[in-house]
Structure 1
Amino acid sequence: MPDLPPLRDVVNRYGLIATKALGQNFLFDEQLLDRIAAVPGRLKGENVLEVGPGPGGLTRALLRAGAKVTAIEMDRRCLPALAELAEAFPGQLTVIEGDATKIAPATLFDGPWHVAANLPYNVGTALFTGWLSGQSWPPQWKSLTLMFQQEVAERIIAPTGSDAFGRLAILAQWRANPRIAMKVHRSAFTPPPKVMSAIVHVTPADMPEGVSARMLERVTEAAFGQRRKMLRQSLKGLPGALAALDQLRIDPQRRAETLKVADFVAIARVLSA
């Protein structure tokens, strides 16, 4: 294992100040980073996509775990620090300068991959929903291990009936298994964000048969677009939706947050037929 200088020294040497515009908050605690890298399980020889590695804190931990890391970084100030890591771990790290929202992971790997990232706050949810969307399932990724604001993490795992339950929970839960693996105090970051954070771990599950992913998105978009209204009002603009409620014996006077994920899947299945 290479003897690396403290990450804080690397940041100071290259003058890397976290910028709010890029949603950056750096983690320096090596033990914490190793714990995060351990969440997906054994990574030795596994392909891992990392988005927004910054100076390479989590990257170091993933490399120590034996992963083959492909890191996408759009802040060119961080590239020299990442280049040092690539030299220290020959053949294990590939760094791509670019915008992760515009790069298809499938073009980067020959086989399946994991995703592990302290996601930039300003693009985290968009990337997450992109990885979970689309009709093709199971996905090519094997797991997602992602840092979010704690509020977003709680929306991902939210149960039916809770204030946090909504479109993000349904998207994450209808064919995947999300959980909060650990919480991270704001004081662990430099600079400290205003909110607490959490690590969400997601693995694919079986996709229900006879359901169009796009139709499920349309149903949830309509239902939660007016979440305080009854279903008979929020779904009336979606052709066939009210008839589907009647067929499934779902009371149209209920509100969207009272339905289970399985209920939304059932409605989408009827409308997909």
Structure 2
Amino acid sequence: MADLPPLREVIARHGLSASKALGQNFLFDEQLLDRIAAIPGDLDGKRVLEIGPGPGGLTRALLRAGAQVTAIEMDTRCLPALSELSYAFPERLQVIEGDAMKLDHDAIMGSAPYAVVANLPYNVGTALFVRWLGGEAWPPQWTSLTLMFQQEVAQRIVAQAGGSAYGRLAVLAQWRSRAKLAMKVHRSAFTPPPKVMSAIVHVEPREMPDGVSARVLERVTEAAFGQRRKMLRQSLKPVTGALDALAALGIDETRRAETLSVEEFVAVARELSA
């Protein structure tokens, strides 16, 4: 491994600046980046997918941790800086130019399991997260997700029933996964500093409840939280059979979506999946 110049020097030499259109915010603190790379556990020899590496700050930390990294980057300005990392860590970094929203991540990573670690671009972070959590096939090929979000989004992912942050994202993240808030990151750590605080969420898949269709659960939560101020008898009315499912489970239809636990949403989806 060659000695690497400071990230600020790399960015200055390549004339890089964070693109607001691409939702970019760069991290320069290498100690902080090493702490982030340590969240998934021992990565030595493990395969890691990184989305939006930018100039490669987190990529460096993942490579230092011993990971085999595949990075997807759509900003062509950053490719030369990432290419330098490929030389510094021979045969340890594969960079794919493209839009992560349009690519098949499992196909890219082959048949082997992989961890996802990323400082996600803010403009696509939630959409990518929902995609990783979706689908009928479970457990997924990914073994864990370690992802940077705006703190407000992170809190919605780990929220418990009854609070204002609790919603569809929490149910989708928690019904067959363990989600925790792993680290808060102050806005001053980024260049340029975003207007909001950030936080890292770590998610690990767990056993999928029997007899539940992911598509049905997604439909139920979308309807319930799409009109979260309304009672379930109104918000779930468009979902065929949902009100009968509530009655069968003894769930009061005058409740609102935010009062139902993850387990209750799973029970409704199971009734509808039968």
Question: TM-score, normalized by length of structure 2?
Answer: 0.99
Query: Which residue identity is paired with 2:215?
Result: R
1:238, 1:102 → 2: CA distance? 30
1:162-201, aligned counterparts within 5 Å? 162-201=163-202
SS of equivalent to 2:87: helix
Q: What is the Cα deviation at residue 171 of structure 1?
A: 0.3
Tell me which residue corresponds to 2:231: 230
Are 1:160 and 2:161 counterparts?
A: yes
Q: 2:2 is matched with which residue?
A: 2
Q: Confirm whether residue 45 of structure 1 aligns to residue 45 of structure 2.
A: yes
Work out the CA distance in 1 between the residues paired with 2:2 and 2:203.
31
The letter for the 2-side match of 1:224 is F
1:259 aligned residue: 260
Partner residue in 2 for 1:27: 27
Query: For each residue in 1:52-102, what CA deviation from the matched residue of structure 2 results, as whole angstroms up to 9, or x when unmatched?
Result: 000000000000000000000000000000000000000100000100001
Q: Deviation per CA, 1:168-216, whole angstroms, max 9, x where unpaired?
A: 0000000000101000000000000000000100000110000000000
User: SS of the residue aligned with 1:40?
Assistant: coil
| Counterpart AA for 1:86 | S
Q: CA–CA distance in 2 between the matches of 1:71 and 1:13?
A: 21
Q: Distance in 1 between matches of 2:67 and 2:124?
A: 24
Report the AA paired with residue 247 of structure 1: A
| AA matched with 2:107 | T
Give the aligned partner of residue 145 of structure 1. Answer: 146
Aligned residues: 273
In the other structure, the counterpart of 1:92 is 92
SS state at 1:269 partner: helix
Shift of 1:238: 1.1
The answer for the alignment partner of 2:251 in structure 1 is 250
Q: Distance in 2 between matches of 1:263 and 1:107?
A: 34
Name the SS for the 2:128 alignment partner. Answer: helix
1:83 is paired with a residue whose SS is helix
1:2, distance to aligned residue in structure 2 (A): 2.8
Aligned to 1:131: 132
Alignment partners' CA distance in 2, 1:74 and 1:210: 39
1:20 and 1:227 map into 2 onto residues whose CA distance is: 31
| Equivalence for 2:215 | 214
Query: Quick one: distance in 2 between partners of 1:204 and 1:238?
Result: 27
Match of 1:105 in 2: 105
Inter-partner Cα distance in structure 2 for 1:217 and 1:151: 21
One-letter amino acid of the counterpart of residue 77, structure 1? R
> Partners of 2:9 and 2:191 in 1: how far apart?
13
Q: Which amino acid is 1:29 matched to?
A: D
Alpha-carbon deviation of 1:225?
1.1
For the aligned residue pairs, the C-alpha RMSD in angstroms reads 0.6
**Distance (Å, rounded) in 2 between the aligned partners of 1:236 and 1:129:** 24
CA deviations 1:214-242 (Å, max 9, x no partner) are 00011111111110011111111211111
One-letter amino acid of the structure 2 residue matched with residue 209 of structure 1: D
Structure 1: distance between partners of 2:183 and 2:45? 24
Q: Is the partner of 1:262 in helix, strand or coil? A: helix
CA distance in 2 between partners of 1:109 and 1:118 (Å): 19
CA–CA separation in structure 1 for the residues paired with 2:63 and 2:24: 21
Q: 2:61 aligns to what?
A: 61
Q: Secondary structure at the match of 2:101?
A: helix
